[in-house]
Amino acid sequence: MRFFHIAEPEAWATAKTGGSWTTSTRGRTLEQEGFIHCSQPQQVALVLEAVYGDMDHDLLLLVVDSDRLTSPWQLDDVAGADDPFPHIYGPLNADAVVDELPLRRTADGFIVPDLSV
């Protein structure tokens, strides 16, 4: 399965060099949250608006291949959500990220690339 994680470009560049990512979501670490928040394709725009909507700069959308993860993951139901969210229960190993898609910030919000496979 492929799913997505939103990242700050500079922080991701540093994490790639170190081999793993431990940011759960904006302002929260894996240690604080207990897992790394991810999204299915239909959830990306919602998460961008809810969590990153006030940011005024570009971000990255990391494409994660679950078969390459070294940490366990699962789909978890979240109250109020139509679909379960993928969560990674440990560090995200950099080599599980198979693509990095730009999330361009415009005056109208973020431009989400086509995520259909």
pLDDT surpasses 90 at 117: no
Beta bridge partners of 4: 39, 63
Across residues 45-70, what is the average pLDDT? 96
The set of residues, in sequence order, having a beta carbon less than 8 Å from that of 89 and lying 6+ positions away, is: 34, 35, 71, 72, 73, 74
Query: Domains of the chain by range and CATH?
Result: 2-107 (3.20.170.20)
The whole-model pTM stands at 0.95
pLDDT score of 116: 78
Beta bridge partners of 113: none
Q: Which sign does the torsion angle of CA 9, 38, 55, 28 carry?
A: negative
Nearest residue to 4 (alpha-carbon basis) of 104, 117, 108, 99? 99
